[in-house]
Structure 1
Amino acid sequence: MEDMKHNVRLTGPELSALWTQYLNDSMAICVLTYALESCKDKDIYTIIEYALSLSKSHISKITDTLKEENYPLPTGFTMDDVNLNAPPLFSETFWMQYLYVMTLHGMNGYSLSVGSAVRKDQRKYFTECGKEAMELYDKLVDVMLDKGIFSRPPFINAPHDQEVIDNQSYLTGWFGKRRPLNGIEMGNIYYNMQKTIVKVDLEIAFAQVTQSKELREYFLRGAKICKKHIRIFSSILMESDLPSPRNWTSEVSNSTVSPFSNKLMLFHVASLIAVSVGYYGSALSVSQRRDIIAQYLRLMGEIGIYAEDGINILIKNKWMEQPPGADDRANIAKQNS
């Protein structure tokens, strides 16, 4: 019985979680190593260095696990995908906001991976990754607050008495007087704006440095879509007299020397789009105003089309690795005929 427990294979979801994390962390190593090259602020340097050490540790552990499973490692990204001699493309302040958003993605991703893990070592591994991400988040927010660069979500005043919803007008969106946002709706809009703001700045910067006309047009198109989404979210907040998060575009330099390969830049944007669809869907599921639900549905469709176009470019350039999947039994049978 002990041998059977010890030798149990990784499930498809477990393999996929490790495989995907390998890609993301190999990319993070390239990005964070470049960020350290021009970082002068001691506090920010320490945060980036800590985040980099986590990604390196993950790569090492995933490599050992996949080798034990006799499963091939993805190619991912290497130092060939980064130019450490390129001038700074982003300010230190931007790197803090970037890490903040990426850490939010990490915490969410690790919790999902724990939920799909069965084998004890995998549950333990992803639980530990989640703890590390929360520790990074804690350190990160402390530094951002100390430096005055953290955008706090809006506050809510306490009601005079406990209130009960007694009318379906609470759900009104398109017709009639719209109620102010509730805290859940407000929070999701605010945090989706923060993530979109970082994405638009990455797309502006990547369009600025890529030598590929196709990618330049793709990134600029993405930036245009992101700006549109930001305006929509901002107008919803403004209608309830609530502030929007800060814009960070001024923290992008005017350098035209690319620090990253085209493959890395496109993969980065494509992966951020993919998680955006998920966050929009999650926000939609807890929104109780019809107009907000309709907006999320429309925006999800728009970025879904944009995401597919990006994947097609990745495929065309042979930059997209095939993730773990079930065997094609019909094809196997053909090969044996």
Structure 2
Amino acid sequence: MDNVSHDTKNINLTSVEVGALWNTYMVESLVHHTYAYFLKHVDDPDIKKFLKHSHDTTREHLKLLEALFKEEKLPVPRGITSEDINPDAPRLFTDKYYIYFEEHMSRFALTSYSQAYAQCSRLDIRELFKTQFVELLILVNQWVTEVALSKGVYIRPPYVPLPKEVDFVKRQNFFSGFFGEKRSLTVLEITHLFNNADTNSIGTTQMTAYSQVAKSKDIRDYFIKGRDLAKTFYKNFVDVLISENIPIPPSHNSEITDSIESPFSDRLMLFHVNLLSSAGLSSYGMAITGSPRNDLSALYGKAAIESAAYAKEGASLMIEKGWMEQTPTAPDRDELAKLVKSH
């Protein structure tokens, strides 16, 4: 089907498009500068290759976004800059951890880009997010997965015997989880438990490393609190899998070195942790809708409430430090009306 011609010069950006572009710039700036540091401390040539590709790709994305902001007469976000990294700091992570980091950040970006593409209407913006989505698919499927498989570090989700015929739910205890007989987990429930356990394993590692190098005590204490919270979530999710005799994802803490010199500013690390909290909240919401067993929905609900409280504390720290960039907002009509009355 041929594209319909659009004169984008006469079509203003919608609030959805402004928000998607702004959020993309912030995340891409984080990834770009984080990889600048990773590239200074990588030995494996295959891993270095995909880190270099990601670093170069995000640089081009940032240039494209910056030009778009200027063309639309929008302020370019500060985001994360070269001032937020110290590439000459000692190595903080092993090469192996870079694979897991790339995989999880790409998974987050794929979700963001697909949502942006579906919600945006201006042709050039849709094309931008479609291109970025396809580039990430190639990176994740052809590079990250293949490299992980070739290095023997790919984490496969659990296998279950395949069904031989179509079946239907016959009893109301399909929803039971607190009392009486529990049914076995569905494959969708296993997916959510395994993925959320793996994500919290990554979160535990990330915040353990950040707490090891953070300069400010209040930021360091916040990371320690987040580390312990992620460890609790990980244990809660894997305990369910273990009780059902299903394999669990591993811990990644052995991929952190003993360095105490920070390669990142406290601002960068706090921004990243807030991003992880937001991603966790979204994941728990999806898990609730995909987990009919009421003990699981309660587990995810509790995790969501605790994650929301932790994220709010992190946002308050960002504001207190003067680090939180404000997302573009709609005008306050009531305040504008007051200004008119005062003249």
Q: 2:252 aligns with which of 248, 252, 260?
A: 248
Contact 2:8 2:123 in 1 (8 A): no
Q: 2:227 aligns with which of 210, 214, 223?
A: 223
1:320 corresponds to: 324
2:130 corresponds to: 127
- When structure 1 is superposed on structure 2, of 86-95 and 51-60 the one drifting more is 51-60
Superposition deviation, residue 244 in structure 1: 0.7
- Partners of 1:203 and 1:3 lie apart in 2 by 46
Q: 2:52 aligns with which of 49, 54, 69?
A: 49
TM-score (norm 2): 0.95
- Partners of 1:89 and 1:314 lie apart in 2 by 24
Q: State the Cα deviation string for residues 71-117 of structure 1 (Å, max 9, x = none).
A: 00111111110001100000000111011111110111100111110
Contact 1:273 1:303 in 2 (8 A): yes
| Secondary structure of 1:221 counterpart | helix
Q: 2:16 aligns with which of 13, 18, 22?
A: 13
Counting only pairs closer than 5 Å after superposition, residues 297-316 of structure 1 correspond to structure 2 as: 297-316=301-320
- Partners of 1:46 and 1:12 lie apart in 2 by 37
1:195 corresponds to: 199
What is the aligned residue count? 336
Superposition deviation, residue 199 in structure 1: 1.0
Superposition deviation, residue 29 in structure 1: 1.3
Contact 2:213 2:261 in 1 (8 A): yes
1:266 corresponds to: 270
1:186 corresponds to: 190
- Partners of 2:128 and 2:163 lie apart in 1 by 44
Counting only pairs closer than 5 Å after superposition, residues 16-35 of structure 1 correspond to structure 2 as: 16-35=19-38
Contact 1:101 1:194 in 2 (8 A): no
Percent pairwise identity: 31
TM-score (norm 1): 0.97
1:232 aligns with 2:212: no
Q: 1:295 aligns with which of 277, 299, 302?
A: 299
Superposition deviation, residue 51 in structure 1: 1.1
- Partners of 1:150 and 1:207 lie apart in 2 by 27
Contact 2:8 2:124 in 1 (8 A): no
1:67 corresponds to: 70
Unaligned runs of 5+ in 2: none
1:279 corresponds to: 283
User: RMSD value over aligned CA atoms?
Assistant: 1.3
- Partners of 2:282 and 2:192 lie apart in 1 by 12
- Partners of 2:213 and 2:160 lie apart in 1 by 42
- Partners of 2:188 and 2:202 lie apart in 1 by 22
2:102 corresponds to: 99
Matched letter for residue 248 of structure 2 = S
Superposition deviation, residue 322 in structure 1: 0.5
